Amino acid sequence: MITISSVLQNARGSYARIWLHSIFIALLALTPFLYMMQVSERVYTSHSWETLGFITALIVFLLLIWGVLDHFRANALQAVGHGIDHELRQGVFDAVHRGNRPEAFRAYTDIATLRQGLTGPLVESLMDATLSPLFIAVLFVLHPVFGLVAIAYIAVIALLSARARSIWKAVRAQSREHEDKALAFGMATAAKRETIRAMNILPGVRREWAGLEDQASEVLLKGHERAGILDSALGVLQQGQLVILIGTGAVLYLLEEVTATAGMAAFIVMMRGVGPVISVARNWSMLHELRMAAARLDIVLADEPDEPKTPLPDMEGHVACENLSLAGSDGKAVLSGIRFAVPAGSIVGVVGPSGAGKSTLLRLLAGAAQPSSGSVKIDGFPLAVWPAAQHGPATGYLPQAVDLLPGTIWQNVTRFAAYDPALTGAVTEALRMAGALEIVQNRGRGLDFRLLDGGAPLSGGQRQRIGLARAFYGMPRVVVLDEPNSALDAEGEKNLAYSLADLKRSGSTIFFSTHKANMLSLCDYILVIMDGYMHSFSTRDDMLGRLNAAGNPLLPTNPDEDQAPPRVVKQA
């Protein structure tokens, strides 16, 4: 499993090499100090143009080397950041989609925060700050008082920074909850903007979103008021550094402990040695954000379930549920005690009143959700032990809310397979079975027609047909369809009946939910769900007899809807 610490461990060698360059950068940063010392001691006393020219040329050369090394360090850090991003990208993307944490959507911005924090100016300041003891040693050489003043200065900065950091940590923990709620609410409403626009729900949802944002802002404002005092104190110390140094040098000069040149040199050395420490201290909030981003990424990565690797025998489609249950976020059972078994090549209709748990059961059968207890078994193996690379292509799933992805029709039908002309036949066959060929043939759309999020600009019925084509693609062994005819017209239902018969003949096991009695004539078995429990499960004829005897309370009694779709056998 990928962790942030393992990623940083892999980058340790690169950081070590960059830090070695930082040593030379820090030493070369003393060139202005050397230039001042040499000009004061040699040029002012000798009045020599040659000496001035030689010293100036040498210093310019050293400054050029400093510039090259600094440029190399910046580029090297960016390369390390690219490596960290590349190493985390796939693992985080998979963890977001396979895990169950609703806050995982922040992981993408957390990767950017981590990359920028580990490769930007803050890291350069941290590397330079590790070399502060070198400059403090130079100050002790100039005079012990200069070194002691520098140590005391850094100690005060560290204490103020630590206190500000503790305040900010508590504030961010409180505000993060409100920010997450506001962001999730804003994303949810943005996805439903057409409904909001049509009924002018915008003022209400804006008020709700603004309230969540205001709660986060109030927490941050109170935190800034407390931490801002300490931050201002750090600013005063930074501005007062010049006064402290010059004042200390002046006192020592009056006591005839140092020369004026040594006092000026101490000023330059301390500015260079303490400057990175101040920079780190003033950016303590960014350090905290960096740590929090790393912690959140670790949580998301740890939440990803272990992926089975060992391949199983080719899937046939025998499906069984053993005491299958699922609890909601409130801990209450949404589905409980589901038990049944069907052989491969069966068609199972799932019926029940709205909210009974039909969609939940179908999500568990498809592997879209994980049960709280019990298991779904395919060919005797629990669904959890099937490798995704084997289970995914052998499963077709149509959720109740058709969720087409941004991309071409080709990509949506092939489940974003790499482009291969050899797949064209399978794509067109899936579209034919779903009654969706005319969608790509009309208006010059073609298979490269690009869909937006949710399948726009297609109509509801067209989206459902493309979703059916995706479920039928490759003739999967287990097909799970949640109300597959909800947006289809009579011709579409007729085509769906033919396609389900084709899948059954090929050996596929099919589960579908419906509120229309005419679809049940296709079934081998019927499962009735009531209030999250399996009310009954039996063969089609037995179950239809029971439903009719009970007055058919679960399905419409409209004669048009009760008419069974024709069974058509293809001519060879």
Domain match, 276 and 211 both: yes
Q: Do both 38 and 95 map to the same domain?
A: yes
CATH number at residue 155: 1.20.1560.10
CATH number at residue 543: 3.40.50.300
Give the residue ranges of DSSP H helices in 130-201: 132-142, 144-191, 193-198
pLDDT of residue 558: 46
In a domain, 490, yes or no: no
- Please identify, among 475, 496, 517, the residue that sits at the C-terminal boundary of a domain: 475
How confident is residue 570, by pLDDT bands cut at 50, 70 and 90?
A: very low
- Pick 509 or 45 by higher pLDDT: 509
State the pLDDT confidence band at 490, using cuts at 50, 70 and 90. confident
Of 252, 274, 303, the residue that ends a domain is: 303
Mean pLDDT on 209-214: 84
Answer yes or no: are the C-beta atoms of 558 and 360 closer than 8 Å.
no
241-258: per-residue pLDDT in tens?
Answer: 778 888 888 888 888 888
Residues 59 and 183 in one domain: yes
**H or E segment to which residue 41 belongs:** none
How far CA 292 is from CA of 96, 123, 389, 521, in Å, comes to 17, 17, 33, 56
486-491 long-range contacts, CB within 8 A, separation 24+: 486/400, 487/402, 487/460, 487/461, 487/463, 488/435, 488/461, 488/464, 489/461, 491/435
Write down which residue in 455, 475, 495 finishes a domain.
475
* pLDDT above 90 (res 468): yes
Residue 430 has pLDDT above 90, yes or no: yes
With respect to residue 308, please indicate whether it lies within any of the assigned structural domains: no
Check residue 511 and give its pLDDT: 96
Q: Nearest to residue 481, comparing CAs of 510, 509, 512? A: 512
Antiparallel, parallel or unpaired: β 509-513 and 333-342: unpaired
> Is the same domain home to 556 and 461?
no
Residue 93 and residue 126 in one domain: yes
The pLDDT of residue 104 is 66
Q: Is 101 helix (H, G, I), strand (E, B) or coil?
A: coil
Q: Please tell me whether residues 208 and 329 are part of one structural domain.
A: no
pLDDT beyond 60 at 560: no
What is the pLDDT averaged over residues 109-129? 82
Same-domain status, 44 and 90: yes
Flag whether 551 is in a domain: yes
- Asked if 138 and 103 touch (Cβ cutoff 8 Å), the reply is no
- Asked whether residue 498 is domain-assigned, the answer is no
- One-letter amino acid for residue 455 of the chain: G
- Does one domain contain both 468 and 565? no
Residue 495 lies in a domain: no
Coil, strand or helix: which one is 450?
strand
Domain-located, residue 282: yes
* pLDDT for the residue numbered 99: 67
Query: For position 553, what pLDDT does the model report?
Result: 58
Q: Tell me what pLDDT residue 487 has.
A: 80
pLDDT of 447 > 80? The answer is yes
126 and 254 part of one domain? yes
Distance CA 330, CA 284 (A): 38
Count of structural domains, the chain: 3
What pLDDT, in 10s, does the model give residues 77-117?
888 888 888 888 877 887 777 766 655 667 878 888 888 88
Both structure tokens of 552: 């058919």
- Determine what percent of the chain is predicted with pLDDT higher than 70: 93
Does 455 or 254 have the greater pLDDT score? 254
Instruction: Judge if 568 and 481 occupy the same domain.
Output: yes
- CA dist 103 to 216, 268, 301, 347, Å? 16, 48, 12, 38
Q: Is the pLDDT of residue 297 over 90?
A: no
Question: pLDDT tens digits, residue range 141-152?
Answer: 888 998 898 888
Q: How many residues does the chain have?
A: 572
Q: Is the pLDDT of residue 192 over 80?
A: no
Residues 320 and 216 reside in one and the same domain: no
Which domain range does residue 134 map to? 4-303
Q: Give the global pTM.
A: 0.69
In a domain, 503, yes or no: no
Predicted local distance difference test score (pLDDT) of residue 342: 94
403 and 352 inside one domain: no
Higher local confidence (pLDDT), 3 or 530: 530
How far apart CA 513 and CA 485 sit, in angstroms, is: 9
364-381: pLDDT as tens digits: 999 888 898 999 999 999
Asked whether the beta carbons of 201 and 249 are under 8 A apart, the reply is no
